[in-house]
Structure 1
């Protein structure tokens, strides 16, 4: 057992208090025994000090007997171990003590062995008290995490029926938690997504080691379909859960933003492909990044080849020195207009007038080189 065990012993016999303190602390190095001869003083001490682990009390005391003292203690600390250690023993008192919720009932006398028994009773009672207190704290922490989590937390049975739903569900799912209890969660899933959700759920039921994550559409309380992501954990063997814990968060805004971005890219690509002139965006080192259909049709390379080839591979050898100079000038911040022969995969040289400029971020750091090429109307040999 970790930490000292603080015991408050209350008895109107000072000599007995001293003896009990000596015997208990001698028996267990972890025991720290404090004594009071008056019940009122003991209650005042408990009101100001909540760190006691156990109370040992006589029964027959002036002003307040042990059971009345027990009731007063229970009002302050309802689960604090309370051992009635009394010289006035009877079946009636024992019965009343048990009914009142006393932790242990032990009669005085019987020599020093009695203190060994008392020490063991204290140790056992405190161990149980501390374990229960730790379980309660863990439950409270877990409950607080659930109550204040921005994610929805639900417990489902093996059929997917809601057994518990956290408060966050109303914001994420659109329903008061109590309205979902007893409903099958799969009934709210979009018909096109239901099969994959059920399959993922069943896999978690069959294999507790799995923690599958699934993205799907869920019918929100406002009638719209929200995109959710859920992760399930099989806790069927946990007595406090007895089900599958499912954490869920809403991806609707993220998916909508991604959809809009995808549409913008598709529109941008379509606009570039509609250009009759060649267009490209390269990385700062000159390697290809994005290009339009006109350029790819001209050079005849595949997408993978376009990305893997060095920049000079797209130009005739006699223009390589010029291209190196252009790249250097562009990185110095100059927009350069130059003429060069584009070299196709088949070996054809196509004259182009190209305008190249540097694209930078807000800090002025280079992001890419952008260029557009138009026909010159010249023959390749006329560029020399």
Structure 2
């Protein structure tokens, strides 16, 4: 169900628009006759989209939208008005409107077009919110993970191009230390173990497959940690690369 807040000071137009929009499957419309009334409604409810007239008593549609945006509300916002003025269009888009529409002589066609645009905007916004939430979850996991998620370009330099925040938990060095090579990660690997680490990585690159290898690390404080590295060969803009994670075995 898509929920829409419709704001217009013309009661008859408001009702006609509400009825037409609700003919669409899965649409629920809440109406307000002023920007101030709409702001009161928004204190207690969230909507999938907001449609507002521009010229209204009290605060106009753009002032209403600016107040909505100032609250951190990124709900898709459409300015739908009877007169098109270039300065109003520019202000609407500059201050955060997703769409500006003029009321036209053929409401049936216009409302149908509006609904397609609303569905598209709601779908895109939901996708963005979902991706943002997923990034937040993954970031939280990486911060708490007792190890390093990494991407590495193999070869002579064997440089990390990404290392997660867990690098500091595992080694005592920040991700920036490792990525910018202020610290050579491979210098932290016990010399007796370095050969088998490189052999495992080279094998994965050659076969395009995966690898696992256990070895010992020397941390910044001078303590020894036993770790297990699991990686996969991927194709990147830099050629064959490795992605994976390095886990502190002693925490298992």
Give the superposition deviation at 1:253.
8.3
1-structure distance, mates of 2:119, 2:35? 23
User: Highest CA radius of gyration, 1 or 2?
Assistant: 1
Q: Which runs of 5+ in 2 are unaligned?
A: none
Partner of 1:99: 94
Question: Is 2:83 aligned against 1:88?
Answer: yes
Give the superposition deviation at 1:54.
0.6
Give the superposition deviation at 1:119.
0.8
1-structure distance, mates of 2:77, 2:206? 46
Partner of 2:170: 172
Question: Is 2:243 aligned against 1:248?
Answer: no
Residue 210 of structure 2: SS of its match in structure 1? coil
Give the superposition deviation at 1:213.
1.5
Distance change >3 Å, CA 90–CA 172, structure 1 → 2 = same
Q: Which runs of 5+ in 1 are unaligned?
A: 255-384
Residue 58 of structure 2: SS of its match in structure 1? coil
Residue 212 of structure 1: SS of its match in structure 2? strand
Identify the structure with bigger relative contact order (alpha carbons < 8 Å, sequence gap 6+): 2
Partner of 1:130: 126
Partner of 1:261: none
Distance change >3 Å, CA 144–CA 107, structure 1 → 2 = same
Residue 43 of structure 2: SS of its match in structure 1? helix
* 2:81–2:101 contact (8 Å) kept in structure 1: yes
Map residues 201-240 of structure 1 onto 2, 5 A cutoff. Answer: 201-205=201-205, 210-234=209-233
Distance change >3 Å, CA 130–CA 175, structure 1 → 2 = same
2-structure distance, mates of 1:45, 1:235? 51
Partner of 1:151: 147
Give the superposition deviation at 1:122.
0.7
Give the superposition deviation at 1:199.
3.1
2-structure distance, mates of 1:105, 1:158? 51
- Select the residue among 4, 20, 23 that pairs with 1:7: 4
Q: Deviations over 1:257-279 (max 9, x none)?
A: xxxxxxxxxxxxxxxxxxxxxxx
2-structure distance, mates of 1:253, 1:9? 55
Distance change >3 Å, CA 96–CA 173, structure 1 → 2 = same
2-structure distance, mates of 1:150, 1:103? 42
Distance change >3 Å, CA 204–CA 53, structure 1 → 2 = farther
Residue 221 of structure 1: SS of its match in structure 2? coil
Partner of 1:46: 42
Partner of 1:60: 55
Aligned pairs, number:
245
- Select the residue among 21, 25, 37 that pairs with 2:22: 25
Q: Deviations over 1:122-180 (max 9, x none)?
A: 11111111111111111111111112223333333455423333333223212233322
Q: Deviations over 1:30-74 (max 9, x none)?
A: 111111112112112212113x11111111111111111111111
Question: Is 2:192 aligned against 1:185?
Answer: no
TM-score by length of 1: 0.58
Partner of 1:199: 199
* 2:146–2:248 contact (8 Å) kept in structure 1: no
Partner of 1:70: 65
* 2:147–2:169 contact (8 Å) kept in structure 1: no
Q: Deviations over 1:334-376 (max 9, x none)?
A: xxxxxxxxxxxxxxxxxxxxxxxxxxxxxxxxxxxxxxxxxxx
